[in-house]
Amino acid sequence: MTGSRPTSAPDVVARKGSGTPLVMVTAYDAPSARVVDDAGADIILVGDTLAMVVLGYDDTLHVSIEDMAHHVGAVARAKPQALVVGDLPWMSYHVSREETVRNAATLVRAGASAVKLEGGRKRLDAVHAILDAEIPVMGHVGLTPQSIHAFGGWKVQGKTLDAARQIVDDAVALADAGCFAVVLECVPDAVARLVTDSIPVPTIGIGAGRHCDGQVLVYHDLLGLQDWLRPKFVRRYANLHADAVAAVERFAADVRDGSFPSSDETYHAADQVAETLELADSAAATARENASA
Ligand code: KIV
């Protein structure tokens, strides 16, 4: 987004109203960070979806701050131009101010330039504490996956007038507190539009329609790396799971019919060395045959 220096949180704020939507994509390791960065995304979110799309859990509640730091580090070592945002996992900002700040700092020391946390007015203490430590904070309201047990499942939020007002008030409170952007997940588009028009910082939608200042998708969803799961809001731009299965099937077939490895894919010894080794090999084979006769 900025050319020679990595994108910063203030760069993201400056994009509000620019007319060019922000692009955020998740990544969890160096190769996925390079793909997302080479594609020109503005923000890489090392999301706690790590739990589901990389580690195989059924929800996001199973990752720790250590897990998140491990993967933030891998993303940061790709040295992306995009802003790297580290997701604070469940229970890393719910216990005390001190623990909250220490956990946010762990992600910054691992390589994040900002952190994200879920929840609205309930989480203002945590937001203030992290901002006091000079760490930019991205908010996240609507369907916050760390609340699925409280919500009773993965349900679109903000469908009633009262619920919609709560989401708008939460987003306004986060922006007033100093969050540099707010993720809106799985809310009706009218709610997303009202939030977008009500706050001075960018909204980034996922399942929130087009009236947001930016959009985010999970890397594995947009690339078709998990074809068993396809929420309504996902647009798939590749079928990498199917492509990878087909590639490994071809490798297996080549191994089984002896066509892999070819001579070109093999290291060869110099002629004289090879001849001596061949002689030794045939002597060893003869000795084996004699021993088993
Ligand atoms: O963890 C994550 O990947 C997220 C996005 C879905 C916004 O929070």
For the CA of 185, the closest atom of ligand 1 is 7
pTM above 0.85, yes or no: yes
CA of 41 to the centre of ligand 1 (A): 15
Least confident of 134-138, 146-150, 181-185, 282-286: 282-286
Question: For residue 17, how far is its CA from the centre of ligand 1 (angstroms)?
Answer: 23
Our answer on whether the CB atom of 48 is closer than 6 Å to any ligand 1 atom is: yes
DSSP state of 147: G
- Which amino acid residue places its CA nearest to atom 4 of ligand 1? 47
For the Cβ of 87 lying below 6 angstroms from any atom of ligand 1, the answer is yes
Closest CA to 74 of 34, 29, 26: 29
Give the sign of the dihedral formed by CA 88, CA 91, CA 92, CA 93.
positive
Which amino acid, 136?
P
Cβ of 216 below 6 Å from ligand 1? yes
User: Side-chain half-sphere of 40: how many Cα atoms within 13 Å?
Assistant: 4
pLDDT at position 279 over 90: yes
CA of 208 to the centre of ligand 1 (A): 13
| 185 assigned to active site | yes
Distance (Å, rounded) from C-alpha 261 to C-alpha 245?
A: 20
**Confidence class of residue 3 from pLDDT cuts 50, 70 and 90?**
low
For residue 56, the model assigns a pLDDT of 96
User: Residues near 129 by Cβ (< 8 Å), separated by ≥ 6?
Assistant: 97, 100, 101
For residue 275, which amino acid is it?
Answer: E
pLDDT in tens, 174-189: 999 999 999 999 999 9
Phi, psi of 215 (to 5 degrees): -135, 150
Residue 222 Cβ contacting ligand 1 at under 6 Å: no
**pLDDT reported for residue 229:** 76
Using DSSP, state whether 223 is helix, strand or coil. Answer: coil
Cβ(206) to ligand 1 under 6 A?
A: yes
How many residues appear in the chain? Answer: 293
Burial class from Cβ neighbours inside 10 Å (0-12, 13-18, 19+) for residue 90 reads buried
State the DSSP code for 241. H
**Residue with CA at minimum distance from ligand 1 atom 1:** 47
Distance of CA 171 to the CA centre of its chain: 22
**Is residue 100 a contact partner of residue 123, using CB atoms and an 8 Å limit?**
no
What would the mean pLDDT of 32-36 be, rounded to a whole number? 98
Distances (CA, A) of 234 to 49, 141, 226: 15, 19, 12
Q: Taking all residues of the chain, what is their mean pLDDT, rounded to a whole number?
A: 96
For residue 244, report the distance from its CA to the centre of ligand 1, in Å.
Answer: 24
Convert the pLDDT of each residue in 146-168 to its tens digit: 999 999 999 999 999 999 999 99
Confidence of residue 230 (pLDDT cuts 50, 70, 90): confident
